Structure 1
């Protein structure tokens, strides 16, 4: 038997198209061929949207020269209405006119903006479009700023509360600016509590409220709250302030006594730590964290040293010095402090339990000094490099070791060592290179140049050198092979001689060991106080560039001066005669 169910399969092949006109205040007016099911909103989209001057509430659909529908775009914005009930046909015209009545809404409304009004819509309708008032809006004096016929400017005041009660509306005009002010009144039904309390600091005032009732609403008082004097600041009707002081501790104990409060009272509870700041002590010297510390109850010297991180490695752990102020006593005005010495040792802070003689209790403003052991210090290391048997870093054995001593500890000099070029550097306080004649100190270790070494000193013993460097005002600055016994002139000549701007009188020679000197003069002879050695540097300073003399100009100026002098003499001679 055949199944009695029947099925119908319908497929849509192609929608027919229609031609529509979109004109007026749109961005791209014109003729559009669109699907037959297009809506007026879609046509506005095809036309590029509305211009700023376009009306949103009076869009017309015209068919056969008759207006068949008037669209209010606010309906779409407020309710999502797409106007699907308006079925468009071929040759329909959608006209977007220019808005004729726009007003500006500002102030305490939920959606301040520029709105378009139509027909007889007034202030009440505008407030509804703007979403209503905010909670702090002052609606009894809404201001309307209006221009009349390009001649008159007025500011109108509207009582919105009265409008609503009398079921009236306030007509608006194109260009009106409506401003809803806000209330500027401060809340008055509260009490403020300032100071050391836990929990909120503002409380709602109610008639009959007292200080005891307020204290029952506070979470809790901090331990440092000073209740013997609590100040209450009251705002009077003329906004002046009046101050009351109460003993809150006594009031809370009393079964009957109380203090009435008023709106906007400020209850100020002071911290006892502010009124009576905690005492402190100071520890200085060879401890890991010197400084000022809070003096705690029953705090001992051992407690303070422990809190200060214990002794430094260089601490003189034999005794601590305590400076203690004198209480004021008549007749002892010249005394400043009492000095107390307390015996200590390396185990002073390690033992938890103190004996009675170790329990030195501190007092306010004590100054504790832990002296430094001047004989304790880290190793003093020096470095020796170059042509010695065992170069490297060495620790000084004592405070009197000298250059030759440390070289001897390094195994002495190698045969290739060049003492004329040996250099000495001192890092302490950034001294740098010191010129020392190493040959001389090896011949005579008692020579003053054989200085006592310090931490960070560095000695460099180079190999044999073979050149002398010539720099500065010479024609070919370079290094010249060393020739024993030759003087400055030989090396200057080997470097091409002096330039025209060379300062020949201020030549400086720096030896390889760092010593510097200049040629000296005796009568008509120049001589060198020390011999030039291999590795030395000869520097010739350069003068500033000489300016050429304009002889023709100089002669001309001299002739003019002589002529002026002659004229002056002639005039004087005639005047005298």
Structure 2
């Protein structure tokens, strides 16, 4: 009985529970301890791990005493110690607003706050410039404490704590699952202890086959590594979450650093030092991985390794026409040219012949310095430098130097895209396109230009901002004769219309001085690159839409001269809800003619579109605003027309 009790007492699960009971019994109830809580997910993970280890120990009941002792030691070393778990709260206490709980059950600090140099650059540029590599330092990337699910490589060396599955067929059938003890051995029934620690994964099958072959013949053996024992490493120095971490035995230096949240705002990306048994065995530059994809110096970790992140070196900001604008860290002796290479070099539009250097260390006169690329290669960077790559391709060249590409379509002899020399005019383009056909409606010619479109976009955005400001002030200036519900309804309607206006885009159309009877286009108009010219066929209808009894397009009568009001009458006249004072006409050449300018008595031209708006209550700004936008979307007019109508 005493022997059985002693065996039970020495099992891993019971010893662990007794350790917890003793620790809780002697723990003083101080205010700090009273506030500590055990994350239920971390506790559950620990209990599940202990239970699994207990089962592994019981399944190896025929092992030797040294094997059982090895399992105990392995279990103690593999206790889950994640960043800021209950296992390491004695080392450092953080306030609750500094801790963030991730889905893995680990408590970590948020990503590092911007450093002083980052804030300085933000003040200068008026925008944030991130530190290179900072996009990797997010909580979702810290999943290295989870069990490895990738294939174990053939070069992997088996270590104590790894679980191996041995399957036999032939003269011997069966499968066993064994954990390598601290002596580096596994125990096989009828075979004895077999040393496997230090054996490469590719050679593990041959080692076990030779051991089993001493007792059996005519069998086939297959071996697999079921699970890898986690190892404990320490990330120290200027890490965002320094501490002890349990990682996969396949983890490398980069894995552990990223699990620790990466370097803090004052930590280095260019040097991560690895210490093993008190001796430095590695120094990894994270830029080699992030920028070059090189992992030659990214060493595989071993149990109790220590990684140290030293303070950051010289930091420089690289802006302008480079592949990736960011704040970069320079190694001692690196030049301006090498830092440009770290930023990916100049982009497609960048000036490859020169850069501009802004230096703040006081060693040279303040202000920018222009460096040739040869000078940049010979200039060593200094702390706080700002390097700007200039742009050439985005510069607007004089029109006299711009070759012109024009798209011509519609009623011309040879529609197409024409490449012409600088300063080419409209009549020259028409001549290249074979001239106008007999069915060309010159009055309706549509000329759109990219430079005009860009100007219209700026003006249109400014107009939208002014409308938003007026809408924000509406509750202070609303008509006091309206009820609160009516005012709120008007404002809500105006906001809905404003959202539609934001989706509209100016089309860059130029309204040319063309008369209805003109047969030729104005020749002296100088063409610009990417101009588009469309000459339509002569239309045969006049459209009447809006608040009339029968909206429709009516054929133009050749027997008499109709005016706009005649076509409104053909549509049945205006309904009672029509706003007769705001009737307007959009001409085929893009002009807008309002009633105040004599639209109703004006002769009707081919392609005219007449719109009769709906009368709203009162004559408030919001009512007119809504009518104008409804016109825009019903007639599919350009945004430039809206600006013309609201003037």
Query: When you count helix as a share of all residues, which structure comes out higher?
Result: 2
Larger Rg: 1
Identify the structure with bigger relative contact order (alpha carbons < 8 Å, sequence gap 6+): 2
Normalising to structure 2: TM-score of the pair?
0.37
Query: When you count strand as a share of all residues, which structure comes out higher?
Result: 1
